[in-house]
Structure 1
């Protein structure tokens, strides 16, 4: 796994609020993925602004930061190779870029 790229996964506030955390983790594990890190957290506005820095000039930026700050998120680090960026209903994947996802 020397060339394996680390990928950040977050369960967004609505997924946490709806009680989907366990089911989402279970689905990853059933597919054979292994989590190497997991953190339940309330992301600060500063952290979110840094994480989404590439979107700062987009008209939805302020709303995105407000939404992601509206409740806790579950941040996870799986151990697998990311070849594409996928967006699902309550999960998003972002490749690490210059130390931020």
Structure 2
């Protein structure tokens, strides 16, 4: 199977965490077995995307959660209690999250 076949499997089994982890396992093996750099890169991308077993909705949610932590200062040690940080980053929240929220 080629990378395009794997992409189709990822799309088909997006909401099945067990299948996506299996796809990741076999994509990683396929990347190790190929000499074609372009195919190896595609297989590695698939393996990295599917390794955690999260579907596209959960990946989007996880990204939105990480962005929220960043904008609220929760991801910055030492600045968690800084109102200035929250106010400064709060201004960026809508701009940074609008595409994710729109396509959720």
Task: Give TM-score, length-normalised by structure 1.
Answer: 0.24
Instruction: Return the index of the structure with the highest Cα Rg.
Output: 2
Which structure has the highest helix share of the two?
2
Between Structure 1 and Structure 2, the one with more strand by share is: 1
